Chains A and B, each alone.
Chain A
Amino acid sequence: AQSVSQHNHHVILSEAASLELGCNYSYGGTVNLFWYVQYPGQHLQLLLKYFSGDPLVKGIKGFEAEFIKSKFSFNLRKPSVQWSDTAEYFCAVNASKLIFGSGTRLLVRP
């Protein structure tokens, strides 16, 4: 069965620190990969996506993610976080349906 694992459930960083959130999935076939973000009080929105091509994907607000097929990973990165990045981040894999990871709550301290 398809599954998505996000290993960091809670992350606390100071502003300007670098961020990396891990995401691993289990599915042997072709997948589409996504990171969604949910800011406090708002609904889920797409941060970035990978369908094919360059495995390094740039998203909104300075986020990027790298698809490493051999590691079944799609980690999210940002070189310098801001207070406004405080949110919950969900990795998702779409093979025949969208499977979400359990989410990572990021708190950025000013």
Chain B
Amino acid sequence: GAGVSQSPSNKVTEKGKDVELRCDPISGHTALYWYRQSLGQGLEFLIYFQGNSAPDKSGLPSDRFSAERTGGSVSTLTIQRTQQEDSAVYLCASSLDVYGEQFFGPGTRLTVL
């Protein structure tokens, strides 16, 4: 079966624009996670979903960041009014349940000019 997929693989945008990143988890995985990987910053947790609800949004850096998940499957991470410091690789992962092994997608490399 297919792994976690993310689109687009690369996104270049201008400061102030909104972007939407998409994640398709492994079929049947109830938990879905978003992380950000910045140079020199390591891996930063953003938000996770159990089904369609997000019990923990504590990692979202600001109110410009939001995420939703529909149908217990696809998730989108939206960044409004992008800033240069938003430039990073955004990773999505999914797991069968919240305590299980997480399978990562290839990431979306976001560059804000």
Given contacts A43-B104, A44-B91, contact A100 B43 (CB under 8 A): yes
- The secondary-structure label for the interface of chain B is strand
Set of chain B residues within 8 Å of A100, measured between Cβ atoms: 35, 42-43, 45
Complex CA gap A32/B98 in Å reads 11
What is the 8 Å Cβ interface bit string for chain B, positions 93-105, against chain A (1 contact, 0 not)?
1000011011111
Set of chain B residues within 8 Å of A43, measured between Cβ atoms: 91, 104-107
A99 at the interface (CB under 8 A from B): yes
Complex CA gap A44/B43 in Å reads 11
What is the 8 Å Cβ interface bit string for chain A, positions 69-110, against chain B (1 contact, 0 not)?
000000000000000000000100010111111110000000
Complex CA gap A51/B35 in Å reads 22
| Cβ contact within 8 Å between B104 and A98 | no
- The interface size bin for chain A is 10 to 19
User: Looking at A34, A49, A100, A101, which has the most chain B CB atoms within 10 Å of its CB?
Assistant: A100
A-B contact count (CB 8 A): 42
Complex CA gap A100/B101 in Å reads 13
Chain A residues with a Cβ under 8 A of chain B: 32, 34, 36, 43-46, 49, 51, 90, 94, 96-103
Chain B residues with a Cβ under 8 A of chain A: 33, 35, 42-43, 45, 48, 56, 91, 93, 98-99, 101-107
Apart from A43-B91, A97-B45, what are 15 other A-B pairs with CB-CB below 8 Å?
A34-B101, A44-B93, A44-B104, A46-B101, A46-B102, A94-B98, A96-B98, A97-B48, A97-B56, A98-B45, A100-B42, A100-B43, A101-B42, A102-B42, A103-B42
